[in-house]
Chain A
């Protein structure tokens, strides 16, 4: 059941109505600004717009949420993106010295895209996504969310569905905003496990020699092992086809074991992935107490990581000046809203249940016909549609952020 078929690109009229009546500009403002009165976090922030026909406008900036709304409604973009806070207003870029225009602050962002899983998922490929492949994303979200909170100590994480086949993470903690490109690169390096292109079979190289996994990955492995059993062995059945199990065998360094297994699987091609994994374990048991077993054990751990560890689009996270699509935009291909996702309920999230722009406007129309008393003010029309829980989720996130800012301010006040 692919979700790309029953949806289509929204028309400009639909988009305009959506921006006018539904888009939660106030919440987005609060989320970017960290307090109620506009600060540099908002006024010096770059916005870029993609108009109909792929026209791309960069370096816009606004004083208030209403300014932003006005511009969005007049340009009616297919989507808009959020960049860094610069040292000057981005719209003044041409009038200030280049040296006086540098990115200073920026949420730490991550992008996970289903296409990076094409080599391992068996249910869909390319732009398609189904409930089955969402499990990959869910596993990635859990590992990343937990890792960042636990290891880096960040608290203000906002996960946003990208509208089609991926998910974005925005981290708004003050320290995360202040990271330099070098520090971002280091953090991404810490988080990245899957490396090497198409032509590289073994994409996990995180150990030095035969040392145990680094502690952060050991923790991740423990939770991923479970996912591996359900997702890779059972649901996706990754090693069922010859192509699949040859890929698996290529990851095993012990040629003796590989040869034995290949013979076995050649004669019984209908063995399921779980059975094949059991065969591997049997080999391990056979060589119990020998270095061969340790090597196999290591290889098996690496295989689990290779098939389930988050595959990050590293370039997005490394530079402060990378633009990323704003939450609550409409995905131009699917018409779905890029809604916030609760990482604790990521397993229950169903991409196909995310409202589309068409559906939301129909909901509004139905209300309008039943409730004629409606005035001209449309500011919080989202409250009457199925967009409501998502906007409320963002507002809750914003509340926590603002509370943190208030606390930080009070603390600096005390030092006087």
Chain B
């Protein structure tokens, strides 16, 4: 299903002719993504285009979560783009700009499909995409950018000379610096003020009768706003049309995978899988670590937070200190901790997070308040102090959950690691007898049986669980031990061969 022009392009390539600009399918480096790609593409291309773009977007997202300044974000993103999603200006002769632009175009639309499904995903996608657009816009060739803007109707009204003279004084006073003021040489465009809320908020425009007088140097503001609104609208439309796609068994799994990657931040794991094995852990790794190594109390907090995108005070305290504790291997550094919480509390607005929670986290790390080095809570403390209230999720599940809730929770958390319904009666009996740590230890043994842990061995030498960090540390130790053993075995094979 190739269009005539494409066929023409194809022959061009086949005969090795030099492409001329007029033949380009994509005339501009920048794209407002008004029309979807309507050609046939392979399923591999479908996925790789999306994955590469996702890598860039995930980096932008995590930069937001880390509160990186814009300049830094820009440098990082440009580097990332260079790696995964290069996009050269039209003047580049040695590169196949059309292929680059096609990849950009396809990737964007695939991700639209993946991220239109919930309000939350849409919001984050729009934010990251708008940032990407802005970075590209700013790094675009001036002349090409001018042409690009000319190719599209932004619905702005040019302010006539007469009107400019009438409001000369006001227009001059609205400019942020004196040296930029030259009302006579500047072109002004009138738009509804609602299209440039950022300029209005900072009083950087002159406003009259609901119209903002935007100088051409602030024109970009209109462009970004336009990009953002049109993308938001388009995503909502896509969301409505999406159910029709659910029958396609090839595409839906890919889309699910993509959107999950964005949510859990796994995307960076794809690109740097090896770094997970290093010493330092990062914000993106926490969720995965939780699944593999955390005791029930912490998994419950992680899951609650994932569901509610929020944790109450004592929950933050218990989980935050657990993640911080360096004595037991984990040791999430403060920057990562802030990034982690920022990401997890994704419903909280930026300024609210900065005001209320950032302090909280820094407090945990002894950087605020009385600056104490708070240790992580031991099992005894979790069991006996700060009893959870009706809407709290901290505490020890073995003690603070009702019997049936505990069983459901255990099965849902650990069945992938080997816990079966047959193990439950034994665990529930110890719980009923009040030996919560014994129950927890038993779960550890069962879930680590594949690592060679036998009944009665506990977290090593028959020791039972007394500290959540001990549990997690031992679990990671075992995994590493196994990995090393496997590696040694593999090496041995080579020698033998």
Which residue numbers of A lie inside 8 Å of B, CB to CB?
A: 99, 150-154, 175, 179, 182-183, 185-187, 189-190, 206, 208-209, 211-218
Contact = CB atoms under 8 A, between A and B. Distances in A.
B206 interface: yes
A212 B177 CA distance: 10
Given A211-B178, A215-B169, A215-B174, A151 B201 contact: no
Interface residues of B, number: 24
Nearest to A208: B176
Contacts of A208: 176-177
B495 to A, nearest CB: 59
Given A186-B201, A190-B201, A215-B169, A153 B177 contact: no
B201 A189 contact: yes
Given A214-B173, A215-B174, A218-B173, A182 B197 contact: yes
Contact of A206 (B118, B175, B200, B203): B203
B197 A151 contact: no
A190 B176 CA distance: 14
Contacts of B173: 211-215, 218
Given A175-B210, A185-B201, 7 more contacts: A99-B119, A153-B208, A187-B200, A190-B200, A206-B203, A209-B178, A211-B177
Interface in B157-178: 169-170, 173-178
A146 to B, nearest CB: 13
A154 B192 CA distance: 13
B48 interface: no
Nearest to A178: B194
Interface of A is mostly: helix
A28 B176 CA distance: 44
B176 A211 contact: yes
A209 B177 contact: yes
A208 B180 CA distance: 13
B181 to A, nearest CB: 9
Contacts of A183: 194, 197
Contacts of A175: 194, 210
Contacts of B201: 185-187, 189-190
Given A175-B194, A183-B197, A186-B198, A154 B210 contact: yes
A322 to B, nearest CB: 15
Q: Please provide the 8 A-B residue pairs with the shortest distance between their CB atoms, ordered closest to farther.
A: A153-B210, A186-B197, A189-B201, A215-B170, A153-B209, A186-B201, A151-B207, A214-B203
Contacts of A150: 208-209
A298 B200 CA distance: 23
Contacts of B174: 214-215
Interface string B269-281: 0000000000000
A215 B206 contact: yes
B203 A190 contact: yes
A99 B198 CA distance: 27
Contacts of B198: 186
